[in-house]
Amino acid sequence: MHSKREPRLSMAYGRSEARLLDPTSAMAVDGVTAGSTVYSSTVLLVSKSVDFDRTLRHIREAAKAFGWRAEPEDERECARDLRFGVRRVRLGVRAGKAAQAPDAWTVLQMMRAESKEGTRGVSLEHVLSPAPETGADPHNRPNPHNRPNPHNRPNPHNRPNPHNRPNPHNRPNPDGGYDPLGTGGRQPVAYVGARPARRPDSEMQGDRPVVAILDTGCGDHPWLDFVRRDVRLGDHQIGWPDGVPNSEVDEDQVGPLDGMIDDLAGHGTFISGLVHQACPDADIYSWRIVPPEGSVAETDWITALAQIAELVHLYRQGDPRGRRIDVLSLSISYYHETPSDALFDPTLYEILADLSANGTLVVCSAGNDATTRPSFPAAFGPWSDGSGPIPQDPDVLPIVSVGALNPNGTTDALFSNAGPWVRAHEIGASVVSTLPTVFDGGYQSGVETEHLGRTRASLDPDDYSGGFAIWSGTSFAAPLLAGKIAQWLLDHGQPGDEKQDKKRAWAALEALTTLKPPV
């Protein structure tokens, strides 16, 4: 149970609260050019970097004009003492008034019209996802690639035998050649190689590199028994508490009770396996912030990131409560509606910049929408053409945006976002990695029989008891690069002070990406 003094994590928004910002019909203000995004209709965020009471008065004045009220929510206990973060302000209809349903964008625009300075530190609460959307509410479409949900087909084996077709590409394929089962082709495979060779602590000469992952968590798999899922900030858990549904334990929690595996189930386990393959000797911290539905309230994500930043800050201060993190891998993002605005939301970048200033490389997936529109936080990094919303600080490590390559390692995956803000590429299409061995969905083998005392069957398309799958997305390119960075750091010395660690991190980026340290 959660007491009133400790508000629950927001989890995913209901469909009535998440709203798509349509710039063609939303409230407009002269001088503000907006793009589409998905946000909470009833919440505004106030950064800890501004005077909360004064800002709340501005919000209330703007809301009152529409017959709405604005009430602050209590901070969760774990967020109260953090250096970075946001406070939520909830909008509602004023008592005794009849009004349109509250809309956070309308209030924000009214504040801008009255005084743009008055909106400093105030922002929408974006709804984030491992696969960001621009064209529709992602909560109504489980599949981010605009493809029909493959699970709407009652039996994938109803397709004719592909071996009778001389060329499978003769049929129109909106997936660009990627398998239609799952997001970019999640399906079982058999891995027949040896387990990545992880040395015991007694054979390690020095410290292991540490890669941290903030995603759906990490499920049980024989390769991943060393993954730390319990790293805390003092007495406070980071991310979801134990009572929140876990996508890496129960694979079917969303939609009808049909036994189908949820679209993002296994996402974090798959990511952990990629890091382990790229650097078997790395330690991995895994935190859970993406719920089964896939959508994340920005407040919850920011709070978890602020806690992680505090861990690294304490480590640099020599505090035993701190933790060294060499690389933080993030495979979740959103599209900001006004990234060119001079009052662009400061909070998220401040947290990531603090991590970078303390020697942690932040590696982000670029997104899977085949667009050049900047996706955040990836686009906070340095742009190759020198533009971008954030001036780069030479004393801060860059945020690394990672696009996906096809298995040949030379061509960009068709779904991968692109642009001057994407500064690294790694294989992210049809990669093989770990999935929880307990996953076995509602599909069955199309044919099964007994012959000579043995069972014969066609492939069960969602039986992952073998522990491995293929999947596609920039979500997987980023952790693969994170693991390669960790391996490079392991091969080139040991952690030192902040200055030494930044120097080693830059050397790794020069070796593995197109990024160069500022002159």
State the DSSP code for 131: S
What CATH number labels 187-512?
A: 3.40.50.200
Over residues 85-129, the pLDDT tens digits come to: 999 999 999 999 899 999 999 999 999 998 767 788 999 999 998
Amino acid 257: pLDDT: 75
Annotated active-site residue in 283, 425, 475, 501: 475
Joined together, the tokens standing for residue 132 give 């960001």
Joined together, the tokens standing for residue 46 give 């106030």
The pLDDT confidence band at residue 164, using thresholds 50, 70 and 90, is: very low
Rounded CA-CA distance 137/20 in Å is 6
The pLDDT confidence band at residue 175, using thresholds 50, 70 and 90, is: very low
Amino acid 170: pLDDT: 43
Over residues 480-500, the pLDDT tens digits come to: 999 999 999 999 999 999 999
Q: What is the dihedral of CA 356, 127, 137, 331, to 10 degrees?
A: 30
How many residues are recorded in the chain?
Answer: 519
Amino acid 341: pLDDT: 73
Amino acid 242: pLDDT: 80
Lowest mean per-residue pLDDT among 4-13, 18-27, 234-243, 315-324: 4-13
Amino acid 293: pLDDT: 86
The reply to whether 475 belongs to the active site is yes
Question: What kind and span of H or E run contains 272?
Answer: helix 267-278
Given a cut of 50, whether residue 35 has pLDDT beyond it is yes
The pLDDT confidence band at residue 466, using thresholds 50, 70 and 90, is: very high
Q: Tell me the CA distances in angstroms from 512 to 187, 231, 367, 410, 432, one per residue in order.
A: 29, 29, 20, 14, 21
Over residues 218-274, the pLDDT tens digits come to: 999 999 999 999 999 999 999 988 888 899 999 988 887 778 899 899 999 999 999
Q: Where are the domains of the chain?
A: 18-128, 187-512
Beta strands in 37-112 (DSSP E): 37-47, 68-72, 86-93
Annotated active-site residue in 267, 276, 336, 425: 267
Amino acid 241: pLDDT: 84
Amino acid 2: pLDDT: 35
Amino acid 32: pLDDT: 85
Percent of the residues in the chain that have a pLDDT greater than 90, as a whole number: 72
Given a cut of 90, whether residue 429 has pLDDT beyond it is yes
Annotated active-site residue in 139, 145, 215, 369: 215
The reply to whether 267 belongs to the active site is yes
Q: Tell me the CA distances in angstroms from 112 to 28, 57, 69, 94, 148, one per residue in order.
A: 10, 14, 18, 22, 40
